[in-house]
Amino acid sequence: MNADKIIIHEVGPRDGLQVEKTVVPLEEKIRWIDGLIKSGVDIIQLGSFVNPEKVPQMADTDKLFAHFSSADHKPNKVILSGLVLNEKGLERGMACGVDMFCMGVSASETHSRKNTGMSPAEALGRIIPMAQSAMASGNRVQVSVQSAFGCGFEGPVAKETVLKIVKEYLSAGITNISLADTAGHAHPIQVEDLYHAIRELEPKVELTCHFHNTYGLGLANCYAALKAGVTSFESAFGGLGGCPFTKLPAGNVSTEDLVHSFQRMGFRKDIRLSILLDVARQVAAFFNRELPGFILKSGSIVDFKTNERKEAI
């Protein structure tokens, strides 16, 4: 268990918002991201470089990166990540200051075609050269296997199918690998088993997890991943999110819930949970509805006096 190396990757501005029908103004997104930066999370995914006609919520991704990459607004200790699906997206990201590129291949034929218009094999043949190009330019790269634990359209996904994609990544020299539970089908025993299998392929691999809370097992799966050696955890403010190209879009693990659970166990006490909760409240107020996150409703039982310093955004 690498609890002393836990990394929180906030994907709310991208995965949290991409299925929302009400488009969030640029200024509001900047306000929320400023709060996330102050909270002390490690990585923030500002958006995805996709076709704005298909995902209107991401139409301002280039402007967000331009803003937070400028000398006046560039965060000192926070990595800014962006999702790319193809070469054009990579070019856009290169032009506007992405620190870390996230890109991936679905283990599900149906999900892959709905999401990218390509088969998994076709997508892999494009993603690996893209990743190598970004790495050669000095950028960080994280590759993923989407629908790694099951597919809403096809049902179970074979462990060997996932490992075959992982082996291709490793053979190409890419060792920062994420497994994404796009349909929310994962359960803790499956999570531990799959991550252990990857660790056996390459002991030095950097492992990330991305769980959706479709069936209520998100936090349990995060803990299973932690036990299996995962160091980076992707989550979204308020528990928002979901892939618009899966059968049953459902929210991510809530960042506040995840951080609260880690702090209850004595980990990542440096992250300011009160600021994360403030951001989630702003998001809830904007959409005028209750968000899925639990701590936002119940309140924290972390000792704020000893574990964090309260700050207003």
Q: pLDDT tens, 24-36?
A: 999 999 999 999 9
The active-site residue, picked from 96, 102, 209, 243, is 243
Q: Where are the domains of the chain?
A: 3-307
Is pLDDT at 137 greater than 90 in this prediction? yes
Is pLDDT at 181 greater than 80 in this prediction? yes
Which two structure tokens, joined as six digits, stand for 52? 């704005």
- What mean pLDDT do residues 16-42 have? 96
pLDDT of residue 46: 98
Smallest CA-to-CA distance from 145 within 129, 130, 132, 127 is with 127
122/112 Cα distance (integer angstroms): 10
- What mean pLDDT do residues 42-52 have? 96
Q: Do 8 and 222 form a contact (C-beta atoms < 8 A)?
A: no
Q: What is the CA radius of gyration of the chain?
A: 18
243 as an active site residue: the answer is: yes
Query: Quick check: helix, strand or coil at residue 243?
Result: coil
Confidence of residue 305 (pLDDT cuts 50, 70, 90): low
Q: 10 Å Cβ neighbour count for 202?
A: 15
Q: Do 8 and 233 form a contact (C-beta atoms < 8 A)?
A: yes
CATH number of 3-307: 3.20.20.70
Q: What is the pLDDT of residues 87-122, one digit of tens each?
A: 999 999 999 999 999 999 999 988 888 777 888 899
Is pLDDT at 301 greater than 50 in this prediction? yes
Q: What is the pLDDT of residues 247-289, one digit of tens each?
A: 455 689 999 999 999 999 999 999 999 999 999 999 999 999 9
Q: What is the pLDDT of residues 184-230, one digit of tens each?
A: 999 999 999 999 999 999 999 999 999 999 899 999 999 999 999 99
Is pLDDT at 311 greater than 90 in this prediction? no
Q: What is the mean pLDDT of the chain?
A: 92
